[in-house]
Structure 1
Amino acid sequence: MKIQRIGLLASVALVGSLALTACGSDNNSGSGDSASSSSSSGSTACPEGGGTLNAEGSSAQKNAIEEAIASFQDACEGTTVNYNPTGSGAGIKQFIAGQVDFAGSDSALKTTEKDGKVEVDEAAAYCGSPAWNLPMVTGPIAVAYNVKGVDKLVLTPEVAANIFNGKVTTWNDKSIAALNAGVTLPSEPIKVFFRSDESGTTENFTKYLKAAAPAAWTAEPGKAWTGKGEGKQKTDGVAGAVKSTEGGITYAEWSYAKDNKLGIAQIDNGSGPVELTAESVGKAVTAAKSDGQGNDLRLKLDYATKEAGAYPILLVTYEIVCSKAKDAKKAALTKAFLTHFASAETQKSLEDIGYAPLPTEVQTKVEAAIAALS
């Protein structure tokens, strides 16, 4: 499989604040079987008899999971893993409906009620056991733009919120100009593009706006967009729209912004403008905290961090799985693939395509959780 290589994204280091608990009552023994043998050796334990997995969800992790699928299928003859990047919301719905073996989502299953339903309860009802959120891919969200002659752009959370809620409508608006002294900003209209599908990227971006600029962004975060602009399907859609539209702006995963050669705004959360780099993402991720129990490894990110040099807009993509599968053969195949995906070797390979490999502390917990799947 040919996957376009983009700039190298170095591994992100987490400090003790991200150390995840491994205690709990739901099958937390961490004991593995033959399908989850040591990944540190670089080998892949293949499930006996092969088989097919179907998964759906996050488009943010599309390139990353395709990389993992390609190497897994190369190593394990007779296995097929199909992944449909329809968006996090669609992936969760399909998982709850029993249409896929696991889902990819840029936000963990909801624990609060919406429209009379609670995602964690729905998932558990389908599984017949708790569903676990396993962090697998880490990546920043770029505020990506296409403005002729503007190679450097600084935005604060408040100004970004006012652009995406339609209150700032031209590129030479005084609020943008005040942040970008010496930059010639055109008078052309700002054209906002947003994800029209339910998206974990949308949820994480609006979580950032709500946390960092609550007075400007009053809507509650969610997978469905509540701001202004023109909707496009999936990450490819919004990135492509900005690439072809003078004056365009969107929010998209860093790999897609780089792939489309879009401008990427520096973000000033209160301690000066911060460029999106591996190091600046690492500083922000260190503020993340464990927000789950046992092998449910959900994380809580600090979008409002004011740590100097920290780039605050980022997401974690989870693979959502039943802790106890209904089909033993599917369980073995899922376990084998996720073990391969979480391995140090596979995670390291993601650097070349614009993702951050799981830090060792998190990887160890993810591998233990996968080993506990049954």
Structure 2
Amino acid sequence: MTSTSIRRAIVPGIAALALALSACGAANEQSGAADAGGELSGTLAGGGASTQQAAMGAWAVGFQGTHPDVTIEYDPIGSGGGRENFISGAFPYAGSDAYLSDNEGELSAATERCSGDVPIQVPSYISPIAVAYNLPGVDELHLSPQALAGIMAGTITEWDDQAIAADNEGVDLPAERINAVHRSDESGTTENFTDYLTTVAPDEWDAGVVETWPTEYGGEGAKGTSGVVQTVANSEFSVGYADASQTADLGKALIGVGDDFVEPSAEAAAKILEASPEAENASDTAVIYDLDFATEEAGTYPIVLTSYLMACQTYDDAADGELVKAFMEYVVSDEGQDQAAAEAGSAPLSDTIQEQALAIIESIG
């Protein structure tokens, strides 16, 4: 799993996405704390993967239903920014579509930030990465792994190319140039997407697994999940990759898996973990996976991300620890998973993974 290098983290403008749901005014602008009656109050400010933006909005609303004196803030600055600000101590928790590893020292740096204890990493949800397109007159589009890789690598440049037409018999594909849209920022979604391309179509995609898009492949860059979605929506003959929960009314390609083409539904995405091994660094504090993008299991959508929450086992500021623990418990609970599924279209965690994650979160002290 590729990781980003450590840079001096800068606290981002939380106002970029302030899920400010406080009912108690200025008293809640302190760091989270429990009042004399044991009720939680305060502000919990984190950030990271922009894919989690829709789910975070749902979780913030649901969590405040039980804890009305707490404000949850989440800045969708990208997975790399989330990990950097967690490591620097700017965020007490972060969201990322790529787990921490020591390929470039991130896991060790996060362990140092957490007072020598390895950080907690648990899945928050599973979501399909949709290949979203804006192609007038085309209601259903089939893409083989090789055709998709060729489009994103810039070697397939026209929509009526035979590599696309072969899997779309009877579809009137336009003789128009493809505008392939990618993330311009460091992104866990890009890492998962290019991991898929590298696994299933290495001849067509030779840039390897990356978090930052290779500029030599061309295409149009857009910042964040919302940027990709907006660019595709505003530009006919465009195609891009984004968390399916945020692709709204855009067309979503069916991707070749074995002899079938599978749509990016939450149910189809959830099946991939059943075929995927735990990552080498999985432990009693880290429920992390290396996804089996090459699966040919019927009905399984193969371009998937498992989004993670990361936190410390202990905090110097006990109030931070209380808020992080309570919020993460809610996210992984049945209620939190149902809330994200209903509002953000994510796939709920399996019972087994949910139990593992809750046991780890419970240890935060």
Q: What band does the TM-score fall into relative to the shorter chain? A: 0.7 to 0.9
Structure 1 partner of 2:296: 306
CA distance in 2, matches of 1:363, 1:94: 26
Superimposed CA distance per residue, residues 36-65 of structure 1 (whole angstroms, 9 cap, x where no aligned partner)? xxxxxxxxxx96452221101011111111
Structure 2 partner of 1:88: 79
Structure 2 partner of 1:167: 155
The gaps in structure 1 that reach 5 residues or longer are 4-34, 36-45
Q: Pick from 75, 92, 108: which aligns with 1:121?
A: 108
TM value normalised by structure 2: 0.86
Find out whether 1:338 has 2:328 as its counterpart. Answer: yes
TM value normalised by structure 1: 0.84
CA distance in 2, matches of 1:334, 1:279: 29
CA distance in 2, matches of 1:325, 1:164: 43
Find out whether 1:106 has 2:72 as its counterpart. Answer: no
State the one-letter code of the partner of 2:92. Answer: D
Structure 2 partner of 1:66: 57
The percentage of counterpart residues that share the same residue type is 40
CA distance in 2, matches of 1:299, 1:242: 30
Pick closer, same or farther for the CA change 1:283–1:296 going to 2, 3 Å. closer
Q: Which has the higher contact order (CA 8 A, sep 6+)?
A: 1
CA distance in 2, matches of 1:247, 1:89: 30
CA distance in 2, matches of 1:320, 1:51: 20
Note if contact 2:118-2:285 (Cα within 8 Å) is conserved in structure 1: no
Structure 2 partner of 1:41: none
Q: 1:73 deviation in Å? A: 2.0
State the one-letter code of the partner of 1:55. Answer: G
Find out whether 1:50 has 2:64 as its counterpart. Answer: no
Q: Pick from 204, 208, 227: which aligns with 1:216?
A: 204
The gaps in structure 2 that reach 5 residues or longer are 1-18, 20-32
CA distance in 2, matches of 1:277, 1:355: 9
CA distance in 1, matches of 2:85, 2:38: 25
State the one-letter code of the partner of 2:293. Answer: Y
Structure 2 partner of 1:142: 130
Matches within 5 A, 1:1-374: 48=39, 50-113=41-104, 118-128=105-115, 129-226=117-214, 227-257=217-247, 259=248, 261-291=249-279, 292-353=282-343, 354-374=345-365
Note if contact 1:271-1:309 (Cα within 8 Å) is conserved in structure 2: no
CA distance in 2, matches of 1:100, 1:83: 10
Superimposed CA distance per residue, residues 3-58 of structure 1 (whole angstroms, 9 cap, x where no aligned partner)? 9xxxxxxxxxxxxxxxxxxxxxxxxxxxxxxx9xxxxxxxxxx9645222110101
Note if contact 1:127-1:326 (Cα within 8 Å) is conserved in structure 2: no
Q: 1:69 deviation in Å? A: 1.2
Structure 1 partner of 2:7: none
Note if contact 1:47-1:333 (Cα within 8 Å) is conserved in structure 2: no
Question: How big is the alpha-carbon RMSD for the aligned residues of Structure 1 and Structure 2?
Answer: 1.7
Note if contact 1:197-1:224 (Cα within 8 Å) is conserved in structure 2: yes
CA distance in 1, matches of 2:38, 2:113: 24
Q: How many residues align?
A: 325
Note if contact 2:96-2:308 (Cα within 8 Å) is conserved in structure 1: yes
Q: 1:230 deviation in Å? A: 0.9
Superimposed CA distance per residue, residues 327-354 of structure 1 (whole angstroms, 9 cap, x where no aligned partner)? 2111111111111111111211222121
Structure 2 partner of 1:26: none
Moved more, 48-57 or 329-338: 48-57
CA distance in 1, matches of 2:59, 2:360: 18
CA distance in 1, matches of 2:316, 2:211: 29
CA distance in 1, matches of 2:272, 2:294: 10
Structure 2 partner of 1:12: none
Q: 1:262 deviation in Å? A: 0.9
CA distance in 2, matches of 1:55, 1:104: 8
Q: 1:138 deviation in Å? A: 1.1
State the one-letter code of the partner of 2:272. Answer: A
